[in-house]
Each structure stands twice: as C-alpha cells, then as structure tokens.
Amino acid sequence: MLDTISFSQRQRLAYIDFCLLFKGAIHRQDLIKRFEVGLSAGSRDFTLYKELAPDNLVYSAQEKRYFQTESFLPLFEHDARRTLVKLANDISDGFDAIGDIHFPVESASSLNVPDIFVVAKVVQAIVNQKAMSVIYTSLSSGSGARELVPHSIVDNGQRWHVRAFDRKSQSFRDFVLTRISKVTVKDTPDENELKDCDEAWQRMIPLEIVPHPKNIKYPTAIELDYAMEEGVLVLQVRAAMAGYLLRRWNVDCTKLASLRTGEYQLWLRNQASLANIDNLAIAPGYTSEEVEYQ
C-alpha cells in the first residue's frame, strides 16, 4: 500500500515512524508544524499510519500524543549510519527511509555499524532525560549489566560512542554503541547525573595544531590542507573529545615532535592545554610528563 500513496504523504508517515522509534512519542502538532499541513490532513496521516501498523502506537487522551507500544516494529527501514549522522547534526526527519536524494560522493566504508534498535532506545533515553539499563561488553571485564544516564551520541571518526554517567563507577564515561545490548529505558536521573555536571564535556580547551616541524619538507601544503592562518590551526574542542580528534588526525603530541613516521603530518605545539584530561592514552605520543617538563 505504501507504493500507492503520494511521495509527500510517505514522507509524513516516515516522520511519524521516526519519532515513534527514536523519541518514543509524537504530538499531532509536531507533524503539522514540520510539514505545514492542516489539522485534517495531519489527522488523516495518523489514521493511515494506524491502518498500516495498528500495533505501533497508542493515543493518550490525557497527554494528547501518540506513544510507541511495546510491540512496535518500524513501518520503514531506517539506516543506522545515515540516521546517526542526521541525529549528530540535529536533523530529525526519517526521510532516508523513503529515499533521500543521492549525490555522487563516496566515503570510506564503515566497519562499525550499531544496531538501529539499540540506537533508538539510547536516543529515547537522551531525548526524555532518562536513565537506561544495558548489557555492556567491555574489553577488560566482558559482558555485564550497567545503569547509564546518557546525554550525547558521539562520532569519534572510527566508531560511535554514547557519553553517559555510569552509576557503577560514579563517573562520566564513553561507551561504544556496538557493545551495548538489551537496552531498557528507566527512571529519571538525579541532577548530578545530567550533562551539566559532566565537567570534561562542558570544558572547552584550545588546541594549536601546526605542520610537523620535522616530517614535512613543504609546510605550505599542510597549511592549505587545513586552512591554517599564519601557519597554525586553532581549535576549541571539548576536553572529553580532545583525545579522539588528536588520534583521528594523527597529531604528534610529543614535546619535541619526536614521532617521525610519515603518517604524522601535524604537531600539537601547546601540550600544556592537555593537562587534567582523562582520555589522552589515545593521543599519539602524549604522556603527562610532557606537560610537567615544560
């Protein structure tokens, strides 16, 4: 039946499906505002959606919105990678499920694709400011139950993480999305478990990145690559994200630019800015002594 209805109505049905899957609920007014349609047209869309997927939503007269049911199965196929990119850029439309416009641009293949239903539950917890119970498999301790309070989904360039308060360690940490399973959205968290209390997330630090002084013969080429001004690229980044950025771009973080292999074309000239950051084991060549000796 989906093939027989207009493209514009399929867009609206995909949006309903997207909101139910990733937010857990949708107001009729959300649809009307998003597509600038009349009340009667919006009502027809919800009626048609319910005909196509009667077990996917239930209406609450008290809250005046539709909620996802426990038996929910998406009416459309939502691509995990494209959905995560859209969520990271604050685009909530679900249109990829009905065929976005494709441009002849390719990117490197991803080896790390999270389960779309895990992503959906995590996003629900974030959007509704809820804690969640998960089974998490770590490299050090294997599989086990954890209670997390997530606040952001992060692309570190290689894989997707969720930034969350971990009730087991009583600290904010990063958890790889593909290692999460059996997600259950739970209670409302305490104030100290929310994003505003994540000091490493809230703190911005400057990074001064320059062409590697020993590995690069013609630094002007690197300056052009990164649109450097007067030979330096100055970035303001979250302290919690600094290690990921430095690793992704192979930035030499040693004091004396001592990483001499060809992949290191950049050097961090202000190592002192990395003081008191937790996740710097992944920053190329960085040790805490680099700051102490300056």
Asked if residue 106 belongs to a domain, the reply is: no
pTM attached to this predicted model: 0.81
Q: Of 210, 290, 282, nearest to 254 (Cα)?
A: 290
Domain end residue (candidates: 164, 198, 232): 198
Q: Are 98 and 11 in contact (CB under 8 A)?
A: yes
pLDDT at position 210: 98
**Beta-bridge partner residues of 238:** 204
pLDDT at position 89: 67
Phi then psi dihedrals of residue 185, to 5 deg? -75, 135
What does the pLDDT profile of the chain (294 residues) look like in tens digits? 777 889 889 999 999 999 999 999 999 999 999 899 999 999 999 999 999 999 999 999 999 999 999 999 999 988 887 788 777 666 666 666 655 444 444 445 567 788 999 999 999 999 999 999 999 999 988 999 999 999 999 888 788 999 999 999 999 999 999 999 999 999 999 999 999 999 999 999 999 999 999 999 999 999 999 999 999 999 999 999 999 999 999 999 999 999 999 999 999 999 999 988 887 888 999 986 544 333
C-alpha 126, offset from chain centre: 11
Asked if residue 172 belongs to a domain, the reply is: yes
Indicate the residue type of 12: R
Q: Are 145 and 133 in contact (CB under 8 A)?
A: yes
Structure token digits, residue 58: 């239930």
Asked if residue 271 belongs to a domain, the reply is: yes
Structure token digits, residue 22: 């990733």
pLDDT at position 292: 38
Q: How far apart are CA 151 and CA 27, in angstroms?
A: 23
DSSP code for 91: -
3 state DSSP class of 82? helix
Distances (CA, A) of 216 to 232, 236, 263: 14, 25, 10
Structure token digits, residue 115: 């389960």
**Kind of pairing, strands 233-238 and 204-211?**
antiparallel
Q: Within this chain, do residues 121 and 191 fall inside the same structural domain, yes or no?
A: yes
Q: Within this chain, do residues 214 and 158 fall inside the same structural domain, yes or no?
A: no
Phi then psi dihedrals of residue 183, to 5 deg? -85, 130
DSSP 127-162: HTT--EEEEEEETTTEEEEEEEEEEEEEE-SSSEEE
Structure token digits, residue 227: 């649109």
pLDDT at position 80: 81
Q: Within this chain, do residues 125 and 188 fall inside the same structural domain, yes or no?
A: yes
Q: How many domains does the chain have?
A: 3
Torsion angle in degrees (nearest 10) through CA of 286, 289, 292, 294: -60
Domain end residue (candidates: 174, 198, 222): 198
Full residue range of the structural domain in which residue 49 is found:
2-78+88-98
Q: CATH number, domain at 183?
A: 2.30.30
pLDDT at position 2: 78
Q: Within this chain, do residues 93 and 11 fall inside the same structural domain, yes or no?
A: yes
Q: How far apart are CA 230 and CA 215, in angstroms?
A: 19
pLDDT at position 293: 34
